[in-house]
Structure 1
Amino acid sequence: MYPFSNIDTFTVFQNVVEKVVQEIKNLNNEYILKASQTELEDFYIDKVSIEPISLLIDELYIEEQTSVQIDVSNDSRRFIIPGRTALVPGTRLDVAVPYEGDPELWKIKPSCYTLSSYPEILVRKNEIVLSISFTDDLVNSLDLKSKINRDIELLANTIQNLRSDVENHNRGAPDRVKEALQLKRHQAETAVGAVAALEIPIKRRNKPLTFTVPTSRRKSPKSRPKVNTEVYKLEPTLDEAEYQHILEVMRGMSLVIERSPSSFSTLDEEAIRTHFLLQLNGHYEGNASGETFNASGKTDILIRVENRNIFIAECKFWCGAKAFNNAVNQLLGYLSWRDTKCALLIFNRTKDSSGVKQKMHDAMEGRSEYRKTVLYDPHKDSRYIFVKESDPGREIIITTQLYDIPTLS
C-alpha cells in the first residue's frame, strides 16, 4: 500500500469522537446513574484516544533477501533495442521497520504533508516492510543505503506531522467525552425524577462557636465499568461545598496543635479526635441532638443519615504502610451510601512528614479499589477516588490529611 493517501485526520478523528458520543447517548439511564463516573470517563476517554505512530528505526532489519529478474528496458545506462523487454538478475531486499501505535494511522493523511511520492509499504500490526530492488551487476552499497534512509526519513517526517494531529485530538477529545457523559447523566436524572434535592441539609451556625486552648508557642479500562444489579434508588449525597468546608475546619486543627504542642504530646487517638469534634460542632448544629458530628467506636468522626454513614473521618497514628492499609480497610467497611465522601486523618509523631506523605500516597494508588488521584500535594491534603469490586459503580471519595503531633522532649 501507499501510506498517507486516504482521508484526512480531521474527518477520521471527528468520526471517532462522534461514534463514542453516540454510544454514550445510547447508554441505559439506570446504568449511567449507577456506574462510577470516574470509571466511565476513563473507559470512554481511552476509547477516543489514539496512540500515535513511533518508528523504531534503530530496530530495523532485513527480513528477506530474494533473487529476482529486473526489467531494465528503460535503463539509459544500458544498450537495449527499443521495444524489447530486457531482464537481468537482481535482488529484492525486504526491510522491516518495527513501530508502535495505531496501524490505522498509516491510511490517514496528516494536515501537513509532503507532496513527494511515498514508497510502497506492507503494513503489519507491529511493523512495516518496504522493498528495495537492485540489479546485481550495478549495485552500489552506498547508493542502496542512501535509498533506504531516504524512504524511511520521508515516512518518519510525515509521521511526526501526523503525531501533532493526534496529540491535538487527544488533548481535546476528553472534554467532549466528559460533556457527553454529564449531559447524559443530567438527562437520566431528569427522566427518573432525580432532580429533587439530593444534598444532605446541614445547617451551619450563624456564627461558629469558638474554643480556646492553652497559648503555648505551632495510571485503555479495557471494558465498560460494571454496576450492581439492584434497581437504582435515589440516595443522599454530601454537598461538595460542605465537604470542602468540613475538611477546612479539620485542617484548621493544625494551627491549634502547633500553638499548644504540650497539650497534644501525650494524647491518644480518641482524645485528639475529641478536639476535632469540638471544632466541627462549633460550625454545625444537628437536627435533633445538637451534635451533627458524633463519635462511633474509638477513632471515627461521622455523619449519619437514616442510620447509614454519609461522612466518616477515620483517625489513626502513623505506624507504617501496613497499619495505614488496615485503616483504609476499616474506613471502606463503614461506607454504605453512593458517592460517599470521607477523610483519613493520620497523626504523625515521626520527623519525616514528607516521607510519610509519600508512603501514604503510594499505598492509596497501590490498592485494588483505586481509580483516580484527584489531587496529590506533598504539603497539603490529597484526594482519591475508589470503587470497591464488591460494590461496582459506587464512588468513594477519600481525602487524606497528615497532622504532625509533637512528642515530649
Structure 2
Amino acid sequence: MLHAYGDSNGSIEDYFRDSWKRVKSDIDSTEDSVILNTDTDELVNFYYEKYALPIIEIDTSRQNKLEKNGTSASRQQSVTFGIPIILKQDLNIVISRTANPHLMFTHFELDNDGYLSSQLELYGGQVGKSHIEQAQTTLNTVIQQKNSTVNSQNPNFKKTIENYLKPLKEKIRSENAHLEQIASESSVELIKNDVAPTPVNLKVKQKIQIVKPEPKQKTDPILQRKSVESVLELIGNQGRQFETTPKVFSGLGEEALRDIILSMLNAVFDGSATGETFVKNGKTDIHLQMNIDGGILTAECKFWGGEKLYDETIDQHFGYLKWRQNYAIQITFSKNQGFSEVIGKAIESAKSHPTYVDNSFRQINRTYFVTTNTFPEDSGKRVEIHHLLFNLYC
C-alpha cells in the first residue's frame, strides 16, 4: 500500500528538476550508436514514462470517512476526515511534495486505506458540520493545487527531454558525417561502431513495464498473453461493477459504457486507451497501446441484439485486426430478461461462425469464454477472441 505524509519532501518542481538531472546523466553516458539508431520519439517517451507523475483522482465508488481517534493522556480528542483516492504508483511522490514551495503547509497524509486524510483536533468540544466542511475544502484545494502543478510539469518535462535529445542526435550524425568525409579525403579506413549495446530492461509505472527501446530497425511488436490477461481482469472488474447497480448503467448507451471502461483503462495504462480509433479497414471501439510490449489490443462493445448481430461483431474484428495481432475482445451488455439464454445463444453463435476453429472453445467462467478463429483471408493465421458478457437487466 502507498503511504505518504503531505508536503514533507520538497516541491513537485524539485522532483522534476532532480529527475531531469538523472535523465540527462543517463543520456550523456549512452553510446552514440544507441542514440543514433534508436527512434527519438520512443526514447523520449521511455524517459518521460519513467518519471512522469500521476494526478490525484477521487475514488467516487467510496464515501468520505470520519473516524474517531484514540483519546490522549490529556483527554484531548481528535477525529480523522478522509477523502478516498484511487491508488497509483508514484502517487506518494505527489502527496509528499508541495504543489508550490510558497504555499502554506497543511497537515494531511495518504493513509494505508487509500484516503487522503486530515486530523481535526477537538479542544474540549465536539466535531461539527463546519469542521467537516472546512477539512473537505482544504483537502480539495490541496488536490486541485497538486494536480494543476503535475499537469503543467509533465508536458514541460517531456519537452525538455525532447529539446535535448533531438539536437544531440543531429550533432552525433553531423560529427559522424564529418569523420567519414575526412577519412575519405585522407584515404584512411574509418572504423564504425554500428552495433548498439543491448538495452537494459527497466521497471516503470504501475502494472506496466517499459523496455528501453532497442537501437535497431523497428519491427511489429507482439502482444504477450500476460498483458492481455491484465486488461481482461480490469474489464471484468468494471463490468461486475456495472452489474451491481444495473438500474444506473442500463440506461446508458454503448458509447457511454465504453467511455467508462476507457477511463478505467487509462487510469492504469496512462492514457494509452482510445475510443473510435481507425485501424486497418475499420473503426474499433477500444484501442489500447500496451507499453509493456508495444502491442495493440482492440475490443468491441455491443448491447445484445441477437445471434445475427453477434456474428456481425465477430466479422467486425477482422476489419481492423492486423496479421501480427493474436487477440481481440468482444464485450456484450445484455438488458434482456433471461441472461442464461443470452449466454447460450452467444456461445452457439461464436461456435457456428465461419472462422471458428473446431474444438477451440474454452469456458473460463459462466460469463466469459474464449474461441480461436482464423483470419478470413488466411486460414493458417489464428486469433483468440475473448468473449465477456455482462447482465444489465433490471
Q: TM-score, normalised by structure 1?
A: 0.40
Structure having greater relative contact order (Cα 8 Å, sep ≥ 6): 1
Structure number with greater Rg is 1
